[in-house]
Chain A
Amino acid sequence: MDLANLTIAEAASKLRRGECSSVELTRAVLARAHAVEPRIHSFLARCDDTAVAAAADADARLARGGDANPLTGIPIALKDVIATRGVPTTAGSRILENFVPPYDATVTARLRTSGAVIVAKANCDEFAMGSSTENSAFAVTCNPWDVGRVPGGSSGGSATAVAAAECLGALGTDTGGSVRLPAAFCGVVGMKPTYGRVSRYGVVAYASSLDQVGPLTRDVRDCALLLGAIAGHDPLDSTSVDTPVPDYAAGLDAGVRGLRIGLPREYFVAGMQPEVERSVRAAVRTLEGLGAAVTEVSLPHTRYGIAAYYLIATAEASSNLARYDGVKYGRRSQGNGGLLEMYRRTRAEGFGREVKRRIMLGTYALSAGYYDAYYLKAQKVRTLIRRDFAAAFERCDVLVTPVAATTAFPIGARTADPLQMYLTDVCTIPVNLAGLPGLSLPCGFDGAGLPIGLQIIGAPFAEETVLRAAHAYEQATEWHRRRPQIGAT
């Protein structure tokens, strides 16, 4: 029995039937990580000892009986932007290399309360800025389907850890596609919830009005279970919304009969990898065959999404990252030139190229004399994009699109040209700008055996509908059952 490859739902039921213990489950994923980490580099910090202890606690809870929480004893990995009390939280940056937070993020605390076993901190692009996980200061994470390729980003380590069975589920963060893109590239399920659905407290901020924590799992049911554990209002996050959290798993089997699916024509553009378009269109036909009604819709401001995003996100980032100044915590570079030199050297040595690029972009966008032309204009575009979606959701229940125009690209292929890298997120960014829930799930493989992702987008707080559609598709297909073969070191 390959415990490490179980879904959360399968493992939860085995734990309750006594077919395995959480300690066994945890040891299985730790052993798996031990075997594949040299080739994949999913993790920045491993918590082997505390994980086994937490698993033993979970076993004790399960032994007492009556524990109905599906996450009890389940090994989970967290993207390294999510604060974990007593465990280094670096955001993939040198500037936080030795930072150990004295607090848990709300999502971390909720997972601990749910009985989940935190096994590791997953690699990511520095401060979640990137689409390939190549921007981490510490390691390049490799795609388990082809270690010469990127896993997508920025939550690359979370996606590879799930795909390579180094954990049963993981949390990532998604600011412009950072959960959905690596899920698509690694052949797992990833979801960005509605903005405000999940607390951001304790999540190292990149772009506060766009950031959202989301689950990465092996199937849609697990995604529903993990989302249910982290969603909900948090008094520590003023932007979290106080609406009830439904039982996401309960509604999964209701099917898609009569569901109105919209296909935004702007998302099927020239330059797409043909296999991607074919797979996505085939997936739409599968959904149609299951009883959904498909119509074409238009989201006319889609083409301005990337530009608006790279003004808003970088503006917020330039301010969010000002706190890393060497004064209070994290890296401090020494110098003889007093305060100003300390600031300059700390930030020059502590931040990587992409982070500096975005800080400069954002600083420029907010500067006196440029604010109206850039930041304010971008906010207006954001409003137009939001209206596009609102209009579409008057006619549709969900929208279906590709996650990315291509499958995973080779490591190094886009690092020389930041603009080309930015375009990777063209299908995911508008969803963040509009604050909507979006899910990525496997819908096929290309000729090289690389996974292809299908994006399902819902109206605000319509996570249930998105999950139901995804689950119906998943039940009708076998893509999610494929596992990458990773050669040993």
Chain B
Amino acid sequence: MSTSGTVDRAAGAATAAAEREALGRFEAVIGLEVHAQLLTHAKIFCGCSTAFGAPPNANSCPVCLGMPGVLPVLNRRVVEFAIRLALATGCTVARSSRWARKNYFYPDLPKGYQISMYELPIATGGGVDIVVDGAAKRVGLTRIHMEEDAGKNIHDAHGDASLVDLNRAGVPLLEIVSEPDIRSIAEAGAYLRTLRALVQYLEICDGNMEEGSFRCDANVSIRPRGATALGVKVEIKNLNSFRAVEKALAHEIGRQAEVLGGGGTIVQETRLWDAEREETRAMRTKEHAHDYRYFPDPDLLPLVVDERWVAEIRGTLPELPAARRERFVAEYGLPVYDAEVLTARRDVADYFEAAVKSTAAEAGAKVAGKPPAGAAAEAETKPAKGAAKPTAKAVSNWVMSELLRVVREQRLDDALTITNWPVPPADLGRLVGLVEAATISGKIAKTVWSEMLASGKAPEAIVAEKGLVQVSDRGALESAVDGVLAANPDKVAEYRGGKTKLFGFFVGQVMKATDGAGNPQLVNDLLRAKLGGT
């Protein structure tokens, strides 16, 4: 969830310091390979469902089981999704690309090869624009290609035997390979978050790292600052959270700096991140690297992509996070930080905009229920008109503090798109509108919010039902103030004698007299005038 950004930032700052210290005279060179599981309904080469959580092997057929003689048939949606990401990252979509077989034996790989792309991927070039500490940078993309996922081996569930679940075999993946353009852990984190926001905006992947639908391998090397030649790289696998990526990179960079600093050499190898021990472990060296014997898959024709189709897909792309962030700053006058948090997820940004639109339309218009006699009309309220910008900031505050907290607490953020928001955006908008119009106080608004969450009722209804409309009628409040002062002549005298701390006491008494509905600002003003002016 986007709001975890604050936490990650803090952690990032800590690791950045450690990183600088560890590196000394070296700089890190990092390239990331991301596997994004696509949200198509069917698998890439057969009609089986991709639904998560089915009983083992329920989503399988002769094709994804690799039975003798069966053949793959490409799911067109997968290509469409690949093209969406290619266009969103400025890649060149290949007119003709080619499927290749990657050959290796493993029980979760039914055919003994994975259908992937090798020499001719669907997209090349392009890049992902990231911002780190206010500095913009483009991380280049080497390639994007499509491939099928493998199944899962399950150990320790059935005595000595291992079990194989092939529900995931044939689920479509995009492999997104970055250039070695990343120079720090913070950049790696920013790249991954930006890329994840992008696939979520494009609605092609839910971006869930913990569940494995957004996986990352890292290629890391270090070299003396100022050097242009690349050092020997190490590939790190098993990075299944942002924290794991950051910690593994920190550990590996430190390890390499220590080796090189001590006069040693780095061995080209694949290392596995152990999240419990927080260290990388050697898995296999270059000498033992698999020879995958890639060759063009003779069961599939070269993939020819028609220009018209690409143009058609381009026309359906949504506004992307970077553009939306800039628009939020320009159009709503939001601080960059707010815009960043709100646009990190498309559904949150949509929610925010829907809420803002409802306040613009309805703020101050329908003051709900029956306010106490004479309490509303001539009150000193802020005008509803021309309040669009402050309202947007107020909505932003509500979304970032209250709404996303509830979303997090109630774990509503698992899916790509939050559909069961705790409160409809228009309701939150109107709640903010009620505050903006001074119909209720900010404090009362919190009470109303809790009630909205509990009952699902509209804010106006709650305000009316509970008589929470703020009393802003000067006459009504003046008589309440007068009453309080008259009832406490000794306190008045003490106050006027210099015990100004008593001011809070008077405010409390007036609020009590108005059942908590007095406009606090007005109460303050009146009290100050009457106490000081006598």
Interface residues of A (CB under 8 A from B): 81-83, 89, 91, 96, 99, 101-103, 105, 200-205, 207-209, 235-239, 315-316, 318-319, 321-323, 325, 327-329, 339, 343, 363, 366-368, 371, 375
Nearest 9 CB-CB pairs, A to B? Answer: A322-B112, A209-B298, A208-B298, A366-B293, A204-B68, A202-B69, A323-B66, A204-B69, A368-B291
Contact yes or no, B73 A238, CB < 8 A:
yes
With A208-B298, A322-B103 given, name 9 new contacts (CB 8 A). Answer: A201-B71, A316-B295, A319-B112, A322-B112, A323-B67, A323-B112, A325-B112, A328-B65, A339-B162
Contact yes or no, A83 B69, CB < 8 A:
yes
A204 contact set on B, CB distance < 8 A:
68-69
Q: Which of A105, A238, A366, A367 contacts B74 (CB 8 A)?
A: A238
B74 contact set on A, CB distance < 8 A:
238
Contact yes or no, B70 A202, CB < 8 A:
yes
Min CB distance, A175 to chain B, in Å? 12
Contact yes or no, B69 A238, CB < 8 A:
no
Contact yes or no, A238 B299, CB < 8 A:
yes
Q: Which of A203, A328, A363 contacts B69 (CB 8 A)?
A: A203
Within 8 A of A (CB), among B293-323: 293-295, 298-301
Contact yes or no, A375 B295, CB < 8 A:
yes
The interface size of chain B toward A, counting residues with CB under 8 Å, comes to 29
Contact bitstring B105-131, A, C-beta under 8 A = 1, else 0: 101001111000000000000000000
Residue B22 interfacial (CB < 8 Å):
no
Q: Which of B70, B113, B162, B298 contacts A322 (CB 8 A)?
A: B113
Q: How far is the CA of A209 from the CA of B73 in the complex (A)?
A: 16
Q: How far is the CA of A319 from the CA of B66 in the complex (A)?
A: 12
Contact yes or no, A201 B68, CB < 8 A:
no
Contact yes or no, A339 B101, CB < 8 A:
no
Contact yes or no, A238 B72, CB < 8 A:
yes
Q: How far is the CA of A82 from the CA of B112 in the complex (A)?
A: 21
Q: How far is the CA of A97 from the CA of B76 in the complex (A)?
A: 37
B65 contact set on A, CB distance < 8 A:
328-329
Q: How far is the CA of A322 from the CA of B292 in the complex (A)?
A: 12
Contact yes or no, A323 B298, CB < 8 A:
no
Q: How far is the CA of A327 from the CA of B66 in the complex (A)?
A: 11
B105 contact set on A, CB distance < 8 A:
322, 325, 343
Please report whether the interface of chain B is mostly helix, strand, loop or mixed according to DSSP.
Answer: loop
Tell which of A91, A207, A238, A375 has the most Cβ of chain B within 10 Å.
A238
Q: Which of B66, B107, B293, B299 contacts A363 (CB 8 A)?
A: B293
Contact yes or no, A83 B295, CB < 8 A:
no
Contact yes or no, B107 A201, CB < 8 A:
no
B107 contact set on A, CB distance < 8 A:
325, 327, 339
Contact yes or no, A205 B69, CB < 8 A:
yes
Residue B272 interfacial (CB < 8 Å):
no
B103 contact set on A, CB distance < 8 A:
318-319, 322, 366
Contact yes or no, B73 A323, CB < 8 A:
no
Q: How far is the CA of A96 from the CA of B458 in the complex (A)?
A: 67
Contact yes or no, B69 A81, CB < 8 A:
yes
Known interface pairs A236-B73, A323-B110. Does A96 touch B291 (Cβ–Cβ under 8 Å)? no
A99 contact set on B, CB distance < 8 A:
68
B67 contact set on A, CB distance < 8 A:
101-103, 323, 328-329
B73 contact set on A, CB distance < 8 A:
235-238
Q: Which of A102, A235, A238, A368 contacts B300 (CB 8 A)?
A: A238
Contact yes or no, A201 B70, CB < 8 A:
yes
Min CB distance, A107 to chain B, in Å? 10
Residue B16 interfacial (CB < 8 Å):
no
Tell which of A91, A236, A323 has the most Cβ of chain B within 10 Å.
A323
Tell which of B69, B112, B113, B294 has the most Cβ of chain A within 10 Å.
B69
Q: How far is the CA of A207 from the CA of B295 in the complex (A)?
A: 13
Known interface pairs A101-B68, A323-B112. Does A239 touch B299 (Cβ–Cβ under 8 Å)? yes
Q: How far is the CA of A404 from the CA of B61 in the complex (A)?
A: 41
A105 contact set on B, CB distance < 8 A:
69
Residue ID in chain A nearest B111 by CB atoms: A323
Q: How far is the CA of A194 from the CA of B41 in the complex (A)?
A: 35
Q: How far is the CA of A103 from the CA of B32 in the complex (A)?
A: 42
Residue B260 interfacial (CB < 8 Å):
no
Interface CB pairs A-B, < 8 A, 19: A82-B69, A91-B68, A101-B69, A105-B69, A208-B299, A209-B298, A239-B71, A239-B299, A318-B103, A319-B113, A322-B113, A325-B112, A328-B66, A328-B67, A343-B105, A366-B103, A367-B293, A371-B295, A375-B295
Residue ID in chain B nearest A235 by CB atoms: B73
Contact yes or no, A239 B301, CB < 8 A:
yes
Q: How far is the CA of A329 from the CA of B68 in the complex (A)?
A: 10
Q: How far is the CA of A36 from the CA of B70 in the complex (A)?
A: 34
Min CB distance, A271 to chain B, in Å? 33
Residue B164 interfacial (CB < 8 Å):
yes
Q: How far is the CA of A371 from the CA of B65 in the complex (A)?
A: 29
Q: How far is the CA of A137 from the CA of B182 in the complex (A)?
A: 57
Residue B62 interfacial (CB < 8 Å):
yes
Residue ID in chain B nearest A93 by CB atoms: B68
Contact yes or no, B69 A200, CB < 8 A:
yes
Min CB distance, B302 to chain A, in Å? 11
Contact yes or no, B295 A366, CB < 8 A:
yes
Q: Which of B62, B68, B71, B112 contacts A238 (CB 8 A)?
A: B71
